[in-house]
């Protein structure tokens, strides 16, 4: 990373789409992202899918917030593989999923069952019977045979059984539980933009994040909690409208004009996720759908063919359609040993 300005944002013409920054002298860093084209592409793919039609508004907003959050997490961690943020709901939203590749290629989808009113609360969408879960999966790019992706899972409610009504709170809980990192996240989405800001307290003295309570005690002693708490409160003062409509530089100036913020611009050649702009892209392919059909087994595939004459699979993420007739399907199973195994279950 390269520092571009320590004197404020007036020197900057334009911030990168995923903008990293740090607070001078404090172990606190942040990322801000606003997505327009990527998000409207995801929404229009859904709208054009004749099987589903567009998302109900509360689902759209949830998926937009998840999309912004997944890009922030991938930028923050710079994981060399796919980051998959997922909700397993027990209400009308059965699954909501966002996948972000290391180059910030993004795809997202949600499976919706039943009617949803425009003012449905988050818990009514995904945690109706207290069984909902949120998971973050890190799937390495060159996964070895037998190697499992790393996955962390948290419930969608507090220890006292009260459901979270903001997705950002679920993620903050995840970061505290799974990563032992204090994180403040503000997210927002509408029909043209999804956006988010993430503030995180970094481990100090070169230690990793395993310090836990001792680390917090140390930082308390150094008055650093106070600094983090102040920055966290400032961050939480950001309104949905501001996050969705103001320019990045304006947002950061309004929030932190009294703080010493250093804006970072990653070098073009560093390969870090933060150098890149998010973009929509699907990883589905005919070969992967073929592998999925092989996974069903010959008997199951044959019974679908008996019923409908062909196997018709459409991708939930991008709407692409894959057709396998009896000949295609026979070839899949005749040459099964020659087919590469499916990289994962996500098509």
User: Order of strands, edge to edge, in the sheet holding 261-265?
Assistant: 2-5, 261-265, 18-23, 28-35, 194-201, 183-189
Q: Is 280 in the site for Zn ion (CB under 5 A)?
A: no
Q: Is 79 in the site for Zn ion (CB under 5 A)?
A: no
* Min dist. Cβ of residue 284 to Zn ion (A): 3
How far, in Å, CA of 342 to CA of 347, rounded? 8
* Min dist. Cβ of residue 9 to Zn ion (A): 38
Q: Is 174 in the site for Zn ion (CB under 5 A)?
A: no
Interface with Zn ion in residues 307-326 (CB under 5 A): 315, 317-318, 320
244 CB-contact burial (10 Å; exposed 0-12 / middle 13-18 / buried 19+): middle
Name the residue nearer to Zn ion (CB basis): 274 or 282. 282
Q: Is 346 in the site for Zn ion (CB under 5 A)?
A: no
Cross-strand pairs, 186: 197
Q: Is 282 in the site for Zn ion (CB under 5 A)?
A: yes
Name the residue nearer to Zn ion (CB basis): 188 or 315. 315
Q: Is 330 in the site for Zn ion (CB under 5 A)?
A: no
Name the residue nearer to Zn ion (CB basis): 197 or 284. 284
Name the residue nearer to Zn ion (CB basis): 277 or 320. 320
* Min dist. Cβ of residue 320 to Zn ion (A): 5
Q: Is 21 in the site for Zn ion (CB under 5 A)?
A: no
Name the residue nearer to Zn ion (CB basis): 21 or 280. 280
Q: Is 82 in the site for Zn ion (CB under 5 A)?
A: no
Cross-strand pairs, 85: 98, 136
Name the residue nearer to Zn ion (CB basis): 298 or 320. 320
Number of residues interacting with Zn ion: please give it, by CB under 5 A: 6
Residue recorded with tokens 């870090």: 272
Cβ of 250: how many Cβ atoms within 10 Å? 12
Cβ of 260: how many Cβ atoms within 10 Å? 13
Cβ of 268: how many Cβ atoms within 10 Å? 9
Stretch binding Zn ion (CB under 5 A), from 124-132, 164-172, 274-282, 326-334: 274-282
How far, in Å, CA of 204 to CA of 222, rounded? 11
How far, in Å, CA of 28 to CA of 303, rounded? 57
Stretch binding Zn ion (CB under 5 A), from 182-190, 198-206, 233-241, 284-292: 284-292
* Min dist. Cβ of residue 252 to Zn ion (A): 35
Rg (CA), the chain: 22
Which residue intervals of the chain are DSSP H helices? 37-47, 57-77, 122-126, 167-179, 212-221, 224-236, 240-245, 248-256, 286-296, 298-308, 326-334
Q: Is 284 in the site for Zn ion (CB under 5 A)?
A: yes
Name the residue nearer to Zn ion (CB basis): 193 or 318. 318
Name the residue nearer to Zn ion (CB basis): 22 or 108. 108
How far, in Å, CA of 177 to CA of 154, rounded? 8
Residues engaged in binding Zn ion (CB under 5 A)? 282, 284, 315, 317-318, 320
């Amino acid at each position: 990373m390269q520092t571009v300005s320590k004197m404020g944002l007036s020197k900057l013409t334009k911030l990168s789409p995923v903008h990293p920054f740090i607070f001078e002298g404090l172990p606190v860093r942040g990322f801000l992202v606003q997505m327009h084209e990527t998000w409207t592409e995801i929404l229009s793919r859904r709208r054009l899918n004749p099987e589903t039609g567009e998302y109900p508004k509360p689902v759209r907003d949830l998926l937009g917030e998840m999309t912004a959050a997944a890009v922030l997490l991938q930028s923050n961690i710079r994981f060399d593989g796919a980051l998959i943020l997922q909700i397993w709901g027990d209400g009308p939203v059965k699954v909501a999923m966002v996948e972000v590749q290391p180059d910030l290629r993004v795809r997202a989808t949600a499976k919706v069952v039943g009617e949803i009113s425009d003012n449905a609360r988050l818990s009514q969408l995904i945690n109706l019977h207290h069984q909902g879960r949120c998971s973050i999966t890190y799937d390495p790019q060159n996964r070895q045979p037998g190697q499992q992706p790393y996955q962390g899972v948290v419930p969608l409610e507090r220890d006292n059984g009260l459901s979270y009504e903001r997705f950002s709170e679920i993620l903050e809980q995840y970061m505290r539980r799974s990563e032992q990192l204090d994180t403040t996240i503000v997210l927002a989405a509408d029909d043209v933009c999804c956006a988010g800001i993430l503030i995180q307290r970094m481990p100090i003295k070169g230690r990793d994040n395993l310090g836990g309570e001792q680390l917090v005690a140390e930082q308390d002693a150094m008055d650093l909690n106070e600094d983090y708490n102040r920055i966290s409160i400032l961050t939480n003062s950001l309104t949905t409208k501001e996050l969705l409509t103001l320019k990045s530089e304006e947002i950061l100036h309004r929030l932190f004009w009294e703080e010493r913020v250093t804006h970072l611009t990653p070098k073009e050649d560093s390969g870090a996720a933060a150098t890149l702009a998010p973009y929509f892209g699907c990883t589905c392919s005919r070969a992967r759908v073929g592998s999925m059909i092989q996974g069903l087994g010959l008997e199951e595939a044959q019974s679908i063919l008996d019923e409908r004459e062909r196997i018709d699979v459409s991708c939930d993420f991008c709407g692409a359609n894959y057709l396998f007739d009896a000949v295609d399907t026979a070839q899949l199973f005749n040459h099964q040993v020659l087919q590469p195994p499916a990289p994962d279950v996500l098509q």
